[in-house]
Structures are given as structure tokens and as C-alpha cells.
Structure 1
Amino acid sequence: MSGHYRATGINLKRQPLGEADLLVTIFTRERGIIRAVAKGAKKARSKLGGRMDLFVVNDLLLYQGRSLDVIEQGETLHSFNHLSRDLGRLGTAQYWAEGILAEGVSGQAHPELFDLFLEHLGRIEGCAPELISGQLVHGLYRLLDVSGVAPGVATCTVSGRVLHSEAAGFSITLGGLVAAEYQKEGQAVLPLTQEQVMALQWLPQPNLPPDVLQAGVWISLERCLRRYLEFYLQRSVRSAALLEVCLG
């Protein structure tokens, strides 16, 4: 079938297109981000309707058009139903999705990033409410890490000295932690306590234990990493404002 291809994708964004169609932005494992039309998806009896909801994972058959691809078939693999029932969980997923969209992995396969995003969607769907903020920051850091742009949290970015869970500063422009003795007057450095530094140094780990996830530092560290992300992307993270209200 010339012009046809299959892809596994996670719906990141959807918007109306005419009276009956939807324009869906999808993060696929095989082709990165694509924008495709789901014809008739707004109709009550459409087989594609529910499959085009946010963060639904589908096995898709698409036709490659001149400007936009067209979704011809979709088989749902996972729907993450619990995300839409809780604003904190949904906001976290949208936060991660906004970062992926801003990085612009259009037409470029990034299976490691896709698998990691899928993994963290599952974690945020199933975790206890008090762990959401910790999972948010952990997922954000790991998504930055697999994209090759995570800030340094193990050593001082100025000297290279290993930081042993000590109070330090965080420099957005230098890209990570700065030891106290290398912080200069007038330098744009965010001061971090020992507890905050210890929490940051857990982030490269694939899993965080519950006692670490329950630490009371994650809201402040989210703001820290958000400023870093916004500096890297050169744009604000719009979903963060609502999420901040949801997570208190």
C-alpha cells in the first residue's frame, strides 16, 4: 500500500478541524511527532472518536498526505483512564507532553524517549496522590536526560567536584549545581538546602523509593527545573500554572 504506514502513538493534543474531523498531534515511536487528521472522529458513531482522546495509546494505520497525514484505522493499546479523573495527574501528563512538543522531535524516531514517556504515564496514573509531585519532577528529569539536556546534579558544574549531599546552588545558565565555594556575588544562582540537593541527586535513578517521593521538597524543585526547562526551550511552560494550583 503505497503511502501507507503503521505507527504506535500517544495522543498529545487534539483540536477540531471542520464540522466532523479532528486534527491530532501524536508522539509515535517510529516517526516522532506527527500531525494527522482523524476524519469523522467528532461524529457520535465514529470508530476513531474515543481513540483520539488525550494520552490514549493506539496502533495506527495512516496515509501520508502532502501536508497532513490521515488516520485510517486505530486500535487502542492503552487508554490511561485515571489521568482524566484527576487534575493533578492530567496536568502532570500535559506538562511532560508540552516539553516533548517543544523539543520538536517531528519526523524523527526517538524510541527511548517514547518508551520512557509511556513508562512515566503509567507511574503517574497508578501512584498515590501524595507522590504525584515527586513523580512529576522525576519524570521531567528523566525525559530531559534521555533527550541529552538534563542539568548536572552529581558534580559542581564549575569545578567538577563531586557534591556529597551538601547545600549548593543551582545555576540555570551553567546547567546544574554549583558548590558553595564557587558561587560568585551577582551570579544568578538559586540557593538549595542539603535536603533539596539530596533529592536532586536521586533523580538519575530509574526508580525512587516511596520515602524519597514523599519528601516535602518537590514543589520547590519543580519550579527550579521548570526555570531550567524554560531557559533551554526559550519559552514558558503554559501547563505549569494550572498544575501548581492542583498540587498546592
Structure 2
Amino acid sequence: MPLYREQGVVLRTQKLGEADRIVTLLTSRRGVLRAVAKGVRRTSSKFGARLEPFMVADIQCYEGRTLDTITQAVTLGSYGPAITADYDRYRAGSVMVETAERLAEGGPSPELFALLIGALRTLAAGKIPPDLVRDGYLLRAMAAAGWTPGFEDCVRCGAPGPHAAVAVQLGGVVCANCRPAGSPRLDPTSIELLRALLQGDWESAVASGERERGQAAGIAAAYTQWHLERGLRSFSVPRS
């Protein structure tokens, strides 16, 4: 059976039989890959810990009729322990990997693959609040998938900003004339935070207040789920 190597981020795992797992990974060249890791639930397993959620690994697989089988795994990014040890990081990371899996349904994307690894690395480092890392990832991932939100000029008519209303179904901020009924109005500083998150300006993002972060988080979640056309289960994980 043909052997191949891949680099992948472990998105989730599920038990299979007494000692095996099915591992779902986002890979650099194949998109989403589901493969069996045999014996990884045994204490004697040599690479079980390398195939836990949020880990980045170089894997060797052989092709099977239904599922491929992982035969080797070498750790490239050990982000899992730091993320799972902190509940808020775990909540944020869960949203990120679920979003990545949904976006990868359209096929492999090196940009989305690299973006997820960078976000998990930042999340594991613990220097930036987890909610900001999550929301920055969501906005930038949607942009990489072709749905770049606009937080400057009106996304409908192009009227110069600043504008306070956000219409996620239209793609960003809208002027008073274009604002659909029920569209939320945000504080100017919340719009600034959304721009900072989209641009990866962590210095400005970290300087924001709780009100701005709450408003920005609501827009990031709504915008992501609107374009994915279904909700994300991980958003329902309760806060600590």
C-alpha cells in the first residue's frame, strides 16, 4: 500500500475499538484528513501524545480502503498541553479548530493551514487573552477563505467612514442609509478593535477594554457563523 508523509494539525480525535483512535487533522496538502492511529490509547504507545488535539505533527501514513493508517508521528508544535491546561484557552482553541475544519471542506489551503498553526502558537504562549486570539483568528480565517470583512467604508455603497453600524450579512460596517433594520451599532473603539484583530495588531487589541472586546467578539462569532451557514458547537461550551 502506498506510503506518504504529511504535516498536520490535530483537530479532534475519537475512540475506535479498545486501543485505537480516529484522528482528524488539517493538513498542508490534503486538507482534512481522517486516519486511524493504532494502539495510541495504550500506555506503551510511542506516539499517542503526539496525536492529541492542538498538536502539530509530521506524520507518515499508508493508504487504506476506507481510512488511512498513521504509522509514525513526529512533533512539530507541542501546543496541546498548554492549551488544554487552561480552560479559557481550551474554549478558544476549540472554536478555532472547528472553524478550520469547516473552512477546509472546500479543499486544501496552505494559507489557512499556516494561519491555524500561528494562532495555536500564540494561544499556547499565553501572552494575549484567549478571546482576542480566537476573534483575531476568526476574522483572518474568513478573510483567507475569501470573505474579508470591511470595517472602514460602507461595504454597500462605499460611503467614507467611520460608521457605527455593522451588518454581518453585507460584510461589515454600513452607513445610516444602507443600514438594515436591526443591525447593531457599536462603539467607535469596538470598530477600531475589529480592525486591529483583522490586521493582527496585537498591541492595539490588548489595550482594548472589556466592553469593546465583548462587542467585537459578538461580531466575529456572528460573521463567521453567517458565512459558514451553520452554528459552531464549540461556541456553546460554557465559560469558566
Structure-to-structure mapping, 1:66-215, within 5 angstroms: 66-80=65-79, 81-105=81-105, 108-128=107-127, 131-164=129-162, 166=163, 168-184=164-180, 187-209=181-203, 211-215=204-208
Q: Any idea what SS the aligned residue of 1:26 has?
A: strand
Q: Which amino acid aligns with 2:58?
A: D
Q: Hey, what's the Cα distance between the residues in 2 that align with 1:8 and 1:154?
A: 37
Q: Deviations over 1:199-228 (max 9, x none)?
A: 12223323321x432312112211222122
Q: Distance in 2 between matches of 1:51 and 1:135?
A: 23
Letter in 1 for 2:227: Y
- Cα deviation for residue 137 of structure 1 reads 1.2
Counterpart for residue 50 of structure 1 = 49
- Counterpart code for 2:131: S
Aligned to 2:22: 23
What's the TM-score, normalizing by structure 1? 0.89
Where 1:102 maps in the other structure, the secondary structure is helix
2: CA distance, partners of 1:109 / 1:136: 21
Distance 1:51 1:137 in 2: 27
- Relative to structure 2, which stretch is displaced further, 173-182 or 138-147? 173-182
Question: 1:75: Cα distance to partner?
Answer: 0.9
Partner AA of 1:126 in structure 2:
A
Aligned-residue CA RMSD in angstroms?
Answer: 1.8
Q: Which amino acid aligns with 1:174?
A: L
Equivalenced residue count is 237
User: TM-score with structure 2 length normalisation?
Assistant: 0.91
Letter in 2 for 1:241: S
1:60 Cα deviation after fit: 0.5
* SS of match in other structure, 2:73: strand
Q: Which amino acid counterpart does residue 171 of structure 1 have in structure 2?
A: A
* Aligned residues of 2:132 and 2:197 also touching (Cα < 8 A): no
**1:117 maps to amino acid:** L
